[in-house]
Amino acid sequence: MSSLLSKFQNARVLVVDDGSTPAIDLDLTSRQEAQRACLVRLASNEGLGISTSIAIDYMMQENFDCLVRLDADGQHPLSEIDGLKEKISSNLADVVWGERANHNSMNTPKAVMGSFTKTFTALLGQLIFKSHVKDWYTGFFCYQSSSCSGSSRRLLGTLL
């Protein structure tokens, strides 16, 4: 958390603890950091959709220009955030997906099936949406606030 707040001096950070274990500890090192951070802790794991909806509601309530969402599992390099934000602030896109920095080991049947599913979904995305998203299951993406209002928000809700 501190590295995120120090890298983005003007950002406010919302942490949605989705109820999975272990519980998140913000570990803030200064009062200034505490003023820029907000924690919402869910009683149980309700999934990516609920957590993302909470973050979108917060973005809209606070009149943010955009929302960058990333998982707390360390698979999303902070150095990639600027690239996502740049595409949004340049009006090149309303929603931008990042990619995970993990290594897909193929040492279990579950890993092999997961890799197949991700590859198949990426292929469908290319065919149907003319998309170049390689990992539709990533927890790393950026929304422009205008894409999260009104009918756009309902569409996003069905995609999550």
Phi and psi of 96, rounded to 5°?
-130, 130
Question: Six-digit token pair at 141?
Answer: 């993406």
The pLDDT value recorded for residue 23 is 63
Place of tokens 């595409």: 87
The pLDDT value recorded for residue 160 is 45
Helix segments in 90-129, DSSP class H: 109-129
Task: Tell me if 143 sits within 8 A of 70, measured CB to CB.
Answer: no
pLDDT in tens, the chain (160 residues): 777 888 888 888 888 888 776 666 677 777 777 788 888 888 888 877 888 888 888 889 888 888 998 887 777 888 888 988 898 888 888 888 887 766 566 788 888 888 888 888 888 888 887 877 777 777 788 888 888 876 444 444 444 4
